[in-house]
Amino acid sequence: MEVLIIGGGFAGLAAGVALAESGCCVRLLEQKPYLGGRARSFVDLTTGSVVDNGQHIFMGCYHATIRFLSTIGTLDRVLFQKHLTVHFLDRDRRLTVLQCPSLPSPWHVLLGALRSDSFAFKEKLEILRLGGSLHWARAMEQGPERLSVRQWLTKLGQSERLQRNFWDLLCIAALNEDPSVASAALFERVLRMALFASPEDSRLGIPRVGLSEVYVDAATAYIRLKGGRVECGQAVAGLLVSEGWCRGVRLSSGEQIEAEGVLSAVPPFQLASLLPGELLRHEPYFAPVISLRPAPIISINLWFDRAITDLDFVGLRGTTVQWLFNRGKILGAGENYVSLVLSGAHRHIARSKEELLAAALLELGELFPQAQKAGLLHSLVIKERSATFSPTWEAAQLRPAARTPVRGLYLAGDWAATGLPATIESAVQSGYNAAKAIQDDRRNWHATPEFSPQ
Ligand SMILES: Cc1cc2nc3c(=O)[nH]c(=O)nc-3n(C[C@H](O)[C@H](O)[C@H](O)COP(=O)(O)OP(=O)(O)OC[C@H]3O[C@@H](n4cnc5c(N)ncnc54)[C@H](O)[C@@H]3O)c2cc1C
């Protein structure tokens, strides 16, 4: 019998590859006609450009993701920087850079900050202070478990200006939530892993191709090569659970599929409709399925008749949009195509696409003189209302482990308990965790007849 995987995003495909690699018979069911979930690309019909549903950034510290892409043979489709280098553009058009040299951690970041023209002298000392306390203070007097990022940064002596111009941009990019509500514990972990672990881990990686091309086809081919199945247009309508065991799924077509194990790799907002009501209401493990709240991301894609910047990407300070990615340059497609990112976009998600476009063009004109002269050829605003879950400190403590209390049912997805924000890395790591739990339990099923789910 097979192990069924519900959902063909990073989590489901990573789990599928890991299980197939271990000799397990895998059948992956994806409801949409395409795979990739919240990290996918498509061809824009007007321009013919490859557009991502939102610009995605990888990091050197994405160890599980790097392993996954290496296994399926596509790691070279993500271009990693030699050293962490980030440009910032202020509202007054001042361009500055943070460049971290190849020194042992934490010196790469600390020296990078000291040399950078992005910070005032006093702010550099504040960064040294925070870096020092992260690197050297093993046990802080009071952990940040119940603090917001804002409270924690203030406690660590970070000025309002440095927070606004630097930490807030990092927090919103990494956690997709406003620092006033985002979990400090999660942010601290991100800083430790991404900034203060090693220069290699701090590097950013940007896909050189559309997101789907980074992993979707190669992962599918890998699973199929090992004898597994990957099927699109197969919506699961419910889990077949009886007497504490999950024995398969029911498709929206009415067909029932029995399985040796079922791995749910769908977001919490979709898992709610698959679970029997009894479990959803009374089993504490499934509480996050109803308590986690979504956080949106808006992407504004613009095609101009001329180049507006030479930079690959830049953090924007003092504006509503937070990052600009020069997609035409990154993809090498010879187009003057840029993508603007607005994460943690709760206050903007209800605005009309026309309004968002007009506001973004106004800001772009203020920041880039070339944008004022450039003609807009085409635009595409993409709203991802449930881009991630909102990582408040309460939510961070609710995340479920891979093994559920229902025998034969496992859980993966960027929202599972990985200790990471809802990112590609969390999704892949959760897929690996679930695959490991299934492999361990399968050994028991096969060794002990009374454990057999049949
Ligand atoms: C705009 C945007 C920008 C982002 N930027 C970054 C970034 O820069 N860096 C980063 O690391 N992360 C980023 N993320 C987060 C990242 O995309 C997600 O964390 C990751 O893709 C989640 O993968 P997943 O497999 O857990 O879930 P998903 O990708 O949501 O996959 C779940 C899949 O399950 C399917 N499904 C749901 N219900 C059913 C059902 N009943 N039957 C069958 N199939 C079903 C869905 O269709 C979907 O394909 C971003 C996300 C967005 C939206």
**For 128-161, how does the pLDDT look when each residue is reduced to its tens digit (9 = 90+)?**
999 888 877 654 455 688 899 999 999 999 999 9
Q: How far apart are CA 313 and CA 331, in angstroms?
A: 12
Helix (H, G, I), strand (E, B) or coil at 262: strand
Q: Note the pLDDT of residue 415.
A: 97
Q: Note the pLDDT of residue 454.
A: 36
Residue 322 pLDDT > 90: yes
Tell me how far the alpha carbon of residue 83 lies from the centroid of ligand 1, in angstroms: 28
Q: Is 10 in the pocket of ligand 1 (CB under 6 A)?
A: yes
Average pLDDT on 31-55 reads: 97
Amino acid identity for residue 73 in this structure: G
Q: How far apart are CA 291 and CA 389, in angstroms?
A: 10
Tell me how far the alpha carbon of residue 34 lies from the centroid of ligand 1, in angstroms: 13
Q: Is 268 in the pocket of ligand 1 (CB under 6 A)?
A: no
Ligand 1 site-directed mutation target among 424, 432, 433, most atoms within 8 Å of CB: 424
Give the end-to-end CA distance of the chain in Å, rounded to a whole number: 9
Tell me how far the alpha carbon of residue 39 lies from the centroid of ligand 1, in angstroms: 6
- Cβ count within 10 A of residue 197: 17
Q: Is 39 in the pocket of ligand 1 (CB under 6 A)?
A: yes
Average pLDDT on 8-36 reads: 98
Q: Is 206 in the pocket of ligand 1 (CB under 6 A)?
A: no
Ligand 1 site-directed mutation target among 216, 423, 425, most atoms within 8 Å of CB: 423
Q: Is 270 in the pocket of ligand 1 (CB under 6 A)?
A: yes
Residues 408-428: pLDDT tens digits?
999 999 999 999 999 999 999
DSSP letters spanning 59-79: ETT-HHHHHHHHHHT-GGGEE
Tell me how far the alpha carbon of residue 359 lies from the centroid of ligand 1, in angstroms: 28
Q: Is 344 in the pocket of ligand 1 (CB under 6 A)?
A: no
Residues 275-310: pLDDT tens digits?
999 999 999 999 999 999 999 999 999 999 999 999
Q: Among 76-85, 133-142, 213-222, 362-371, which stretch is predicted with the lowest mean pLDDT?
A: 133-142
Q: What is the pTM of this model?
A: 0.96
Q: Note the pLDDT of residue 72.
A: 98
Nearest residue (by CA) to ligand 1, atom 3, is 54
Residues 340-374: pLDDT tens digits?
999 999 999 999 999 999 999 999 999 999 999 99
Ligand 1 atom nearest the C-alpha of 235 is 42
Tell me how far the alpha carbon of residue 97 lies from the centroid of ligand 1, in angstroms: 31
Q: How far apart are CA 54 and CA 387, in angstroms?
A: 9
Average pLDDT on 108-127 reads: 95
Tell me how far the alpha carbon of residue 268 lies from the centroid of ligand 1, in angstroms: 11
Tell me how far the alpha carbon of residue 413 lies from the centroid of ligand 1, in angstroms: 8
Q: Note the pLDDT of residue 451.
A: 46
Q: Note the pLDDT of residue 448.
A: 56
For the packed helices 10-21 and 211-225, what is the interaxial angle rounded to 10 degrees?
30
Tell me how far the alpha carbon of residue 266 lies from the centroid of ligand 1, in angstroms: 8
